[in-house]
Structure 1
Amino acid sequence: MTHPLVTRLTEEFGYPALTTEAEIAAFTEAPGTHVIFVPGDARRNLETPDVAVVLPELRQAFQGRFDCAVAADSIETGLRESTGVLKTPSLIFFRDGQVLGGIPKVRDWSDYVDRITQLLSQPLAAE
C-alpha cells in the first residue's frame, strides 16, 4: 500500500507514476533534468513520507529546473540496481538519459540544496 503523502505527489502535483522500464526511459531521456523519487516501503521506512513532503518544496526552491516522477514498487529494485542508488527513500537525478547521481534517505535542507546544486551543475559524461 502506498503512503498517502506519496500518492499526493501523483494525484495533487501530477507527477507521473512510472511503472515500466519503458516509462523510465521515456521520462529520463526527454530533454531536461529529471528526478525519480524511489519511495521504498513506507511501512518499514519512516523517512519515506518526509522525502515525499520535501520533494515539491525542492522543486519550487530550484524554480522548476527539474521535473519529478515517482517509481512504482514494481520497478524500484531494477531502478536502484541500474543507477547504483540502493537505499530508499531516494531521489535519483537524470539528464538526457544519463544518471547524474542520487540523494538517498532524508537530509537536512542545506544538504539537499548543496547536493542538488552540485548535481545540476555537473556536465554529462562523454559518450
Structure 2
Amino acid sequence: MTMDTALSWKPPRSAISNNFSELLDRLVMKNGISDLDQVGFQDFMDCPGSGVVLLINEPDTAAENWDTAVIFPELLAVTGNNLRAALMRPEHAKSLLTRFGIGRLPALLFLRDGGYVGSIEGLHDWSEYVKEYAIMLQKPVSRAPSIGVAISAVCSSDCNWLG
C-alpha cells in the first residue's frame, strides 16, 4: 500500500453506518432519549409540554452528523434536561424536512404542545448552541416554515382571474 493509497482509504460504508448506529443506540440507552419513527414522532409531538428531536442524516454525508449526535446529550444536560428528547434516524428524519421547512441535516427540531417552535440546522459552536437553545425555550409555538415558492393573490390591474 502506497502512502497515497493509505491517505485515500475509507472504511466501507457498512462499517461507518454500523458504528454510527451503535452511537445512536448508546444515546437512547444511556440518556433516555426516545428513538422515533414517523408514528412515534407524531405521538411525541402530540404530547403536552416541550420537546426537542435530533434529526440526523447518513453518517457518511458529513462529519457534523457524528458531532451533533455527540453534542446532543451534552446540550440537554447543560441546559437542565428540561425538554423531552428524541432522535430520528436518517431513514425517518428525511420525512420531516418539507413539513417543517428544514433545509439541512443534522437539525434540532423544537416542539411544544403539539406545535412547531423552531429548529437549529447544521453544526454550531457550543456557545451558539446554548444561545439558540435558550431562544427556543422562550419562543411561542408558530406555523412551521415551508420549503417552496411563495404564492400571492396580488395581481396587476389588468388581471382578470375572477372573471
Structure 1: 5+ residue stretches without partners: none
Q: Give the alignment's TM-score, normalised by structure 2.
A: 0.71
Cα distance in structure 2, aligned partners of 1:18 and 1:96: 17
Cα distance in structure 2, aligned partners of 1:109 and 1:72: 23
Identity %: 27
Q: Give the alignment's TM-score, normalised by structure 1.
A: 0.89
Q: Give the secondary-structure state (helix, strand or coil) at the position aligned to 1:74.
A: helix
Which residue among 14, 18, 25 is the counterpart of 1:7?
A: 25
> In the alignment, does 2:127 pair up with 1:114?
no
Q: Which residue of 2 aligns with 1:30?
A: 47
Contact 2:116–2:142 under 8 Å retained in 1: no
Cα distance in structure 2, aligned partners of 1:43 and 1:74: 14
- The one-letter code of the counterpart of 1:115 is E
Cα distance in structure 1, aligned partners of 2:141 and 2:87: 23
* Structure of higher RCO (CA pairs closer than 8 Å, 6+ residues apart): 1
- The one-letter code of the counterpart of 1:14 is G
Q: Which residue of 2 aligns with 1:57?
A: 74
Shift of 1:52: 0.9
Which of the two has higher C-alpha Rg? 2
- The one-letter code of the counterpart of 1:7 is D
Contact 1:6–1:52 under 8 Å retained in 2: yes
Aligned residues: 125
